[in-house]
Chain A
Amino acid sequence: RKRHLVELVRKSRQKREAGEWGHMAFSKSVLRWRLIGEGYSSQLSVDDQRYIFRLAFRMWSEVSPLEFVEDLHSPLEEIDIRLGFGTGRHLGCAQRFDGAGREFAHAWFLGDIHFDDDEHFTAPNTGNGISLLKVAVHEIGHVLGLPHIYRAGSIMQPSYLPQDAGFELNWLDRKAIQNLYGGCKGRFSTVFDWIRKEKTQYGEVVVRFNTYFMRDGWYWLYENRNNRTRYGDPVSVPVGWHGIPAAGVDAYVHVWTRKTDAAYFFRGTQYWRYDSESDQVFSRDADGQRYPRLISEGFPGVPSPVDTAYYDRRDAHIYFFRGSMVYRFDVRANRLAAGSPKKMTELFPAVAAGDHPVAKLDAAYFSYTHNALFLLKGTSYWRVVGSRERRLKAWLPYNGLLPRREVDQQWFDICDVHVSSLK
């Protein structure tokens, strides 16, 4: 019963189309869509209609490897998904609309979407009428290959449920579409937990964190408690991180000791210090240092650019990774530690022989959620053996790397969207 959905979909897809991913519907990952000229609604402005459809496509893109781009210029036969409004007999469609009430739209597998313009479609959050956004997300689900799903909360239920504020694709819909197109995979530029100090209403200082994944010029906030990214992410870096390079960073390091609390971003030969309180980079910090600074100045002996880096609170050292080497930097003494650099395979030995990233890491991420250090490369990660595990199994090496796992099996739905929807 547990695999019912997988069986169901795989069985039917095999009959129709078997792309390279097995039971995939569209065989390409960037799909073009267009609201066709003779199918504009008479109820909303064309801009509103296009905005709502752009958002609807983006919502599916945020939970699947598919990307959608509105294409107003290519010949119609090159458009994968065509949307239009009509009443009664419409747009050469075999199925006639029934007027106001009951059937409000339909869609054809790998094909078009038609909306009944006799219905009272409204923009999101207007509270009355039929939410065009909700209907569009549902019909796009059909075009992508999803059937009706009767589960409570699923956007693929056949009957319309009045719009509660800000609906989102729930876990079941995500798994259903990922069953057809696979999960979201990709390399990250860096991953980090951003720590902030806050004052409660009683004036107590509490320390909290959020987890961020960065990939080139965009980032996701990952909600560990919900096992998914924040609704609406990714967002472009300049929007949320003021002053760091828009194209993204190589590493994020948070030096956190009794006397020091400093966050740094590294990219190329330079680094920036981030002011977590005012949420922007320092142009000049309390010590009078101007940023950006050369890495060679701030961290003598450390080469640049680096692949990634992290701060280890156990020994108060920053570990800079570059190629197959690791440079341990003693923050207190402000110099490289004796014996640095060493080979990554030496400092972080593989627990399972041969199962090691060896060189060119993407990210070294200490997670407060898991209380563990992860080394990420490509679509895989290796977790570093923790002290508790070593107490139980003394034979495990210090900083040993446990066998690799896939990033998308640990952190879910970190999906790209088309660059045009990042604007």
Chain B
Amino acid sequence: EKIFHRRDHSDVVPPSSRQATLITDTDTAEQFLFKYGFIKAVKWEEPPAQSTDMLLDADTVLEDTDPFVQEGASLFRSSSGGTSQSPDFIQALREFQQVSGLAVTGLFDDATKVAMNKPRCGVPDKEEDLVETTEASSTAQDLNETSTYNGTTPELYNHTPKPATR
């Protein structure tokens, strides 16, 4: 049961104002692609430690000072002159579709919209000095193979004679 502090459980479900804005159109899609580094690699570094009194202010939601929203939008608008089908956008979209295992169409289709709205980690996919995403070939798996078993006593498998911790 989710912990609640108010008798009517109203604090269990976050108010609608604290629901993440969904990706519904190319504008929000551009911001998503910009935020996670598909348009320009993100400099992802921890901010300097702040004083505790700053922590106390943490509850104040500072909408208009969010660097990612402002910078992304302004930067993008200046580079694409406000139209959302710029080559940058299409290229970024294609790359996102490719790494997400979607059909690479370069179009902001439904499948892409669903993928963008999935719960995900906030770390960018493309950080400034990690410009390429990590792809590893499965052939390296062979490194782990040992010679096949040729003895007479078969290995006891799927049997946990010794209790495991999990």
- Is residue A208 within 8 Å, beta carbon to beta carbon, of the partner chain? yes
Q: In the complex, what residue of chain B is closest to A410 when comparing beta carbons?
A: B146
A44→B3 contact, CB < 8 A: yes
Q: Judging by beta carbons under 8 Å apart, are B119 and A119 in contact?
A: yes
Q: Does A398 contact B (CB under 8 A)?
A: no
B27 to chain A, nearest CB (A): 16
Tell me which of A99, A149, A152 has the highest count of chain B C-beta atoms within 10 A of its own C-beta: A99
Residues on the B chain within 8 Å of A44, using CB: 3
> A119–B162 Cα gap in the complex (Å)?
38
Q: With an 8 A cutoff between CB atoms, is A306 at the interface?
A: no
User: What distance in Å separates the Cβ of B135 from its nearest Cβ neighbour in chain A?
Assistant: 6
- Chain B nearest CB from A106 CB (Å) reads 3
Q: Which residues of B contact A195 (CB under 8 A)?
A: 153
Is residue A204 within 8 Å, beta carbon to beta carbon, of the partner chain? no
Interface readout for A168-204 with B: 1 if CB under 8 Å, 0 if not?
0001100110000000000000000111101000000
Q: Which of B14, B44, B122, B145: most chain A Cβ within 10 A? A: B122
| 11 A-B pairs with C-beta separation under 8 A | A45-B3, A86-B58, A91-B58, A93-B47, A102-B117, A103-B20, A118-B20, A135-B121, A221-B164, A224-B149, A235-B164
A161 — nearest CB in chain B belongs to which residue?
B118
Q: Contact: A370 with B146, CB < 8 Å?
A: yes
Q: Give residues of chain A (80-118) contacting chain B, Cβ–Cβ below 8 Å.
A: 86-109, 111-112, 118
- Which residues 206-252 of A have a CB within 8 angstroms of B? 206-212, 219, 221, 223-225, 227, 230-233, 235, 239-241
Q: Are B45 and A108 in contact (CB under 8 A)?
A: yes
Given contacts A94-B47, A96-B66, A106-B123, contact A8 B137 (CB under 8 A): no
A contact residues vs B (CB 8 Å cutoff): 1-2, 4-5, 8-9, 12, 15-16, 38, 42-45, 55, 86-109, 111-112, 118-120, 130, 135, 138-139, 142, 146-152, 156, 158-160, 166, 171-172, 175-176, 193-196, 198, 206-212, 219, 221, 223-225, 227, 230-233, 235, 239-241, 279, 368-371, 410, 412
A92, A106, A142, A196: which has the most chain B beta carbons within 10 Å? A92
- Given A1-B137, A88-B61, verify A108-B46 contact (CB < 8 Å): yes
Contact B162 A159 (CB under 8 A): no
Contacts known (A112-B46, A230-B164); A149 close to B134, Cβ less than 8 A: yes
Q: Which residues of B contact A225 (CB under 8 A)?
A: 155, 157
Q: Shortest Cβ distance from B68 into chain A, in angstroms?
A: 7
B129 in the interface (beta carbon within 8 A): yes
CB distance from B155 to the nearest CB of A (A): 6
The answer to whether B165 and A232 have CB atoms under 8 Å apart is yes
Count contacts on B: residues with CB < 8 A to the other chain.
75
Whether B19 contacts A158 by the Cβ 8 Å rule is: no
Whether A43 contacts B3 in the complex (CB less than 8 A), given A8-B134, A92-B49, comes out as yes
Whether the pair B120, A159 counts as a contact (CB closer than 8 A) is yes
- Does B141 belong to the interface (CB within 8 Å)? yes
A102 engages B58 (CB within 8 Å): no
- CA A232 – CA B163 in complex, angstroms? 10
B119 near A175 with CB under 8 A, answer: no
Quick check: is B104 within 8 A (CB to CB) of the other chain? no
Q: A209-B153, A368-B155 are in contact. Are A160 and B119 (CB under 8 A)?
A: yes
B21 contacts A by Cβ under 8 Å: yes
In the complex, A223 Cα to B155 Cα: how many Å?
Answer: 9
The answer to whether B62 touches A147, judged by C-beta atoms less than 8 angstroms apart, is: no
Q: Is A92's CB under 8 angstroms from B123's CB? A: no
**Are A104's CB and B18's CB within 8 A?**
no
Residues of B within 8 A of A193 (CB): 153
What is the minimal beta-carbon distance from A15 to any residue of chain B, in angstroms?
6
B122–chain A nearest beta-carbon distance, Å: 3
- Asked whether, in the complex, the Cβ of B61 is within 8 Å of the Cβ of A89, the reply is yes
20 more contacts with CB within 8 A, not counting A160-B121, A230-B160, are A86-B58, A89-B59, A92-B58, A94-B67, A99-B17, A102-B20, A118-B14, A147-B127, A147-B130, A150-B133, A150-B134, A156-B134, A160-B119, A171-B144, A195-B153, A208-B155, A208-B156, A221-B164, A235-B163, A235-B165
Check B111 for interface membership: any CB of A closer than 8 A.
no
When distances are taken between beta carbons in the complex, the residues of chain A under 8 Å from B162 are 210, 212, 219, 221, 235, 239-241
A211 to B157, CA, bound (A): 11
Assuming the contacts A89-B59, A279-B161, asked whether A158 and B150 have C-beta atoms less than 8 A apart, the reply is no
